[in-house]
Amino acid sequence: MNAPVTIKDETAMVDIREIGVIGAGQMGSGIAHVASLAGYSIKLIDISQDQLDKAIGTIQRNMDRQVKREKISADDRDAAMTRIETGIDYSSLKDADLVIEAATENENVKRQIFETLCPALRADALIATNTSSISITRLASTTDRPHKFIGLHFMNPVPVMELVEIIRGIATDVQTFDAVKSVALAMDKTPAVSEDCPAFIVNRILLPMVNEAIYTLYEGVGSVEAIDTSMKLGAHHPMGPLALADFIGLDTCLAIMQVLYEGLADTKYRPCPLLVKYVEAGWLGRKTGRGFYDYTGDEPVPTR
């Protein structure tokens, strides 16, 4: 009788100490922020050095704010900032144990990132995507390690919001899930496990509500101010749905609604034509200074 064969599981042996974050925008900088405070060494990657410099400034200011509010100590802040390094070359991720992709919500962009990223990584490195809506299974198929690929969807703003959605693709193994869940807990986040369905849990519920608010504006039922005031005072939402859309980014809202509409083939998810028009105009919300509100003055002013 042959002796039993022991199969070495490299994923189970990964000790996550260094995390790569791809994308230094609002989400990527927030992930780097919370991961560095959790004690991980961070490699923050972006195609733009200017964006990286801006991200470091944002992280510093946000940590300074946490110190003032006594959420963290000055020593915690200083130690966390020293753990963040930046770069524009994927080769700097060669020692990463886990890489979290936080690029724009565009499937083609993400696929290109993974195709370039995989040759730069160790064979046992894990990959997570911060996608807010796209199929984890489909994105994983772009990589050379679908079993080490998972969805890790943080909420915005990352340093403030407690939740993170964890989404397994069809090939994701249990060791990858367990390792990434441990990272989320170390970052002081509460994990919610979602099936790999379009937009997962939060955005499956949230974005149709936002889209319906835009339809309410489009059809003349109420003004921007009336709609947002109604939901803040009538439903006790902390932010009106149109202000929230501006905060998320109207391009991201549209991308998620398109994923829902195409993935579920249900007309109730059809993106509002007004949302499409705003995105075509480049009115993407806070990040461009104009969306359902104009942000160029001291106070936001409704644009309709």
Q: 176 with 60, same domain?
A: yes
| Residues paired with residue 98 on neighbouring β-strands, in sequence order | 19, 126
Cis peptide before 157 (omega within 30 of 0): yes
Q: Are residues 29 and 131 in the same domain?
A: yes
Helix (H, G, I), strand (E, B) or coil at 43: strand
- Nearest alpha-carbon partner for 251 in 70, 106, 90, 98: 106
Instruction: Give me the domain span that covers residue 286.
Output: 203-302
At 223, list the tokens. 């003004």
Per-residue pLDDT of the chain (304 residues; tens, 9 = 90+): 333 333 334 444 568 999 999 999 999 999 999 999 999 999 999 999 999 999 999 999 999 999 999 999 999 999 999 999 999 999 999 999 999 999 999 999 999 999 999 999 999 999 999 999 999 999 999 999 999 999 999 999 999 999 999 999 999 999 999 999 999 999 999 999 999 999 999 999 999 999 999 999 999 999 999 999 999 999 999 999 999 999 999 999 999 999 999 999 999 999 999 999 999 999 999 999 999 999 999 999 999 8
Active site residue 182: no
d(CA 135, CA 145): 16
The structure's pTM equals: 0.89
Catalytic residue among 62, 133, 203, 211: 203
Q: What single DSSP character describes residue 304?
A: -
Cα–Cα distance for residue pair 70/64, rounded to 1 Å: 10
153 & 231 share domain: no
Structure tokens at 62: 């946000």
Contact 117, 142 (CB under 8 A): no
User: Looking at 101, 135, 165, 211, which residue is catalytic?
Assistant: 165
The active-site residue out of 62, 130, 153, 211 is 153
Amino acid, res. 122:
R
- Answer yes or no: 153 catalytic: yes
Q: Of 132, 133, 135, 194, which is the active-site residue?
A: 132
**For residues 275 and 212, what is the distance between their CA atoms, to the nearest angstrom?**
10
Q: Do 184 and 36 belong to one domain? A: yes
Q: Are residues 45 and 172 in the same domain?
A: yes
Contact 183, 150 (CB under 8 A): no
**Co-location of 170 and 222 in the same domain:** no
Phi, psi dihedrals of residue 293, rounded to the nearest 5°: -130, 155
> Do 85 and 44 share a structural domain?
yes
CATH code: domain of residue 114: 3.40.50.720
